[in-house]
Structure 1
Amino acid sequence: MTRRGWALFAAMAIIWGIPYLLIKVAVGELTPVTLVFFRTALGALILLPVAAMTGGFRPLFRLWPWVLAYTVVEVSLPWFLLSDAERRLSSSLTGLLIAAVPLIGAVITWLTRGDDRLDVRRIGGLLLGLVGVAALVGLNVSFRDLGAVVEVGLVAIGYATGPIIVSRRLPSLPSMGVVAASLVLTAVAYAPLALPHLPARLPSVQVLLAVATLGVVCTALAFLLFFALIAEAGPVRATVITYFNPAVALLLGVVVLHEPFTVGAVVGFGLILLGSLFATGRVSLPAAGRVGGASPSPWASAGPGRSEPQPRSQGSRR
């Protein structure tokens, strides 16, 4: 990978690792619906002109039901659930739980496609990941916070489902147009819910900076940089950032917010990471003299791991 590619990779590993910290700060003074509205509105204001200039909207109309479905499972619901969950969970734990997205993506692919590659390696990876999630939850979460864990689980399912919709139903659409449209649709949907619940007084500078960074850097700029990374390094290498984002979330939560650094976090994340690598085919065990490789992934997201083939000439998301 070129020096520019490494720079883009490092930037994306950080940019998509810090939202958990920023969300934790923002929900201290804002409601989840208000935060989602401002984040998507800011991102849309920046990406909308870019998508319009590149003709990214016109092709969307013929497949609008699937664009809407992608928006709901990838942005509208996950960003609300994530914000609500972080009112009770630490930012570092939330980021580590999201690391299970590749595992969920692999399961959804097998269930919906009848994939016959459910071999010992992949089953072992799923079991490792499951044990990792259990370690994270069992060693770090109290019973009263299990509802928040369920919310993060739904977020992970949404993040895993979105790219599958893209690769199977929207492969020919311009990625920038789909991303910008999803932000616009979410902002419009949340506006009537968020505006009546604006804070009575101006939030603190810390919260304002967190919201601005979420919308401008972690949403708009992140997509632009990730599309550049896809072009520079290819989709397979680009999606590897999925495995670095939770580590960044853990580090920032511990250092900046002084969240606890527990054995459960280390063990759980390690098992989830290893399980994801095996379950998605990024690590293969020798079999009949052959070692399998990873498949390209579509629009790997803020978020999290993708296991579907990368559409031709398609950008990536998140």
Structure 2
Amino acid sequence: MKLQDWITLVVLAAIWGGSFLFTRIAVPELGAVALAGCRVIGAALFLLPLLAWQRQLNGLRTYAGRLLLVGLTNSALPFACYGLAALVLTGGVLSVVNATAPLWTMVIAWLWLGERPGRGPVLGLALGVCGVAWLVADQAHLPTGQAGVSTGLGLLACLCAPLLYGFSANLSRRHMNGVPAMVQATGSQLAAGLWLLGPTCWMWPTHALTPTAWGATAALAIVCTGVAYVLFFRLINRIGASRAVTVTFLIPVFAMAWGSWWLHETITPTMLMACGVILLGTGLVTGALRWPLR
């Protein structure tokens, strides 16, 4: 990897780590569903001109049916889940659980596509599950969060999001082969916006939003989703998907740092140790680490 690729990788991790910060800032005012709706609609409006510039708008019509399903499972539902979880959990915890997405991708590929994993990935899955259980046990004592969201509901929503990512990844592998990357990125956000447009209008807050909430929402949509997608697919084109996915390991570092710096979130030793176990498991599953470790 060249220096430019490393810089892009770190910047992308910082941006995606910031998504949990902006979610924590905006969701108390907008609510989980409305925030998710604003995020995907804003991202779609940002990406559509880029897709038009590349003269790939016809791809949206060609793959419309598949994009609707991918948009639901890869954006609409996970973003709403993380918004709900952010009412009670810190951004650091959200980002650590988010890092388990490759684990669930492997499990679903095993159960659905019949891709039997080797010993290393199986060990990685076991470590990841143990890390998640450890983290959940550490967070279970938290009091009820904002909007009356219980800790149990927040943890359940947080766990559902990476599971949905895992399902969507396998769905894309099976049914989205040959779909241009920007068509998939733009189409999934546009489709997610269609799914969430009605619920967003229905659940829109009755009070006026503060400039802080609007700013966090705009950053979440344009920077953490639109710009991040462009950087991620550019990185895949330059260094390949297997290397680009290592951004997963850096996201919790930035998410914890941003949360601690801006929102004074507490980073506990248990969080750090559970994060280490989960990332070790993710490394074994993705192939970034090999078993036996060397």
TM-score surpassing 0.5? Answer: yes
Indicate the percent of aligned positions where both proteins have the same amino acid.
28
Separation in 1, partners of 2:8, 2:36: 26
* Matched length: 287
Alignment partner of 1:166: what SS? Answer: helix
The answer to whether residue 184 in structure 2 is matched with residue 170 in structure 1 is no
The answer to whether residue 186 in structure 2 is matched with residue 187 in structure 1 is no
Letter of the structure 1 residue corresponding to residue 134 of structure 2: A
Selected match of 1:241 from 243, 247, 251: 247
Larger helix proportion of the pair:
2
CA drift of 1:65 comes to: 3.1
Give 2:137's aligned residue.
Answer: 138
Letter of the structure 1 residue corresponding to residue 269 of structure 2: V
Q: TM-score, normalised by structure 2?
A: 0.91
Give 2:66's aligned residue.
Answer: 66
1:264-306 CA-to-partner distances (Å, cap 9, x unmatched) read 201110100111112333221259xxx9xxxxxxxxxxxxxxx
Separation in 2, partners of 1:17, 1:130: 22
Contact 1:85–1:151 (Cα < 8 Å) also in 2: yes
Give 1:308's aligned residue.
Answer: none
Selected match of 2:153 from 147, 150, 175: 147
Give 1:8's aligned residue.
Answer: 8
1:23-63 CA-to-partner distances (Å, cap 9, x unmatched) read 00001211222211211121111111211332334245444
Contact 1:140–1:265 (Cα < 8 Å) also in 2: no
Separation in 2, partners of 1:286, 1:261: 31
Note the residue ranges of structure 1 that are not aligned, 5 or more in a row: 292-318
Give 1:304's aligned residue.
Answer: none
Letter of the structure 2 residue corresponding to residue 265 of structure 1: M
Note the residue ranges of structure 2 that are not aligned, 5 or more in a row: 143-149
Letter of the structure 1 residue corresponding to residue 127 of structure 2: L
The answer to whether residue 211 in structure 2 is matched with residue 205 in structure 1 is yes
Give 1:118's aligned residue.
Answer: 118
Q: TM-score, normalised by structure 1?
A: 0.84
**1:221 to 1:76, Cα distance in 2 relative to 1, 3 A:** same
The answer to whether residue 48 in structure 2 is matched with residue 48 in structure 1 is yes
Superposed, which structure 2 residues align to 1:23-42 within 5 Å?
23-42=23-42
Contact 2:106–2:117 (Cα < 8 Å) also in 1: no
1:110-129 CA-to-partner distances (Å, cap 9, x unmatched) read 2123233332x333222211
Separation in 2, partners of 1:33, 1:136: 25
Give 1:95's aligned residue.
Answer: 95
